Each structure stands twice: as structure tokens, then as C-alpha cells.
Amino acid sequence: MSFMRSHQTQVVMLDWQLAAMGSATIDLAWYLVSVSLLISKEAAIECYRQNLVQRLGNHFDEAWWQPLLELGLLGNMIRAGCFLAWHATHDENEKTRARCGNELVWLSKQVWAGVRWL
């Protein structure tokens, strides 16, 4: 769907496939390994955090941010790790194998941070 604003088009996309209540970091974690970023993952995380702080204002709880982020990344390893591992070892495209391997290495490092909250 799109909305017109003074000769500019803004596209708004709603993904209702897995609509549920949950931590915003779950979608962030999926995004970080699902798309090719033009900035570092750390910069994307900080940008997301800043926007969340701006939107939530006093409702943003700094004490909960790190646990939610780290658990979201841990959950994403559980959800996507097998696919990344398969593509890192079996994909016909060498660039895809390398990208998935790099994603798997990065996500594996995040697992240890998330485990401490269990």
C-alpha cells in the first residue's frame, strides 16, 4: 500500500505472516542475517536501538535492552543456524557459501552472550 505526500510516494509494508507479540529484537536479529547490509551489524543494531528509544520514549527500559538483544540473536541462531550452515557448505554459489559462512561465524559469537541470560 502507498500513501501520497506532496508528490512523493511512501511505501508501507506490513508482514502479517508470523504476527505475534514478542521482543522487537527478534525481528532485528532476523533482519541482520537475512539482508545484505550497507553498514556494519553493530551500526545497524545501534541505529535500531536509537530509533526504538526515540519511539518509545520513557517506555524504553535500558536495563532490558541488552538481554533482549542477546536473547534475540541467540533465538535467531536456533531458528536460522541450520539454514546458514547448509548454505555455507552446500550452496552452488561460492559467494553465497562465503556470505552464509560469515553470517554463521558472526551469529555463533553472539550465542555466548545470549546464553548467559538463560
Q: What is the pLDDT of residues 2-15, one digit of tens each?
A: 445 556 777 776 66
Q: What are the extents of the domains in the chain?
A: 22-115
Split at pLDDT 50, 70, 90, the class of 16 is low
SS3 88: helix
Entry pTM: 0.76
Split at pLDDT 50, 70, 90, the class of 49 is very high
Q: How far apart are CA 108 and CA 50, in angstroms?
A: 25
How does 40-61 read in b/e, with b if 16+ C-beta sit within 10 Å?
ebeebbeebbeeeeeeeeeeee
Q: Where do we find the cell 536473547?
A: 71
Cell of 33: 542475517
Mean pLDDT of 70-78: 94
Do the Cβ atoms of 116 and 79 come closer than 8 Å?
Answer: no
50-71: pLDDT as tens digits = 999 999 999 999 999 999 999 9
Q: What is the pLDDT of residue 38?
A: 85
Q: Where do we find the cell 551489524?
A: 41
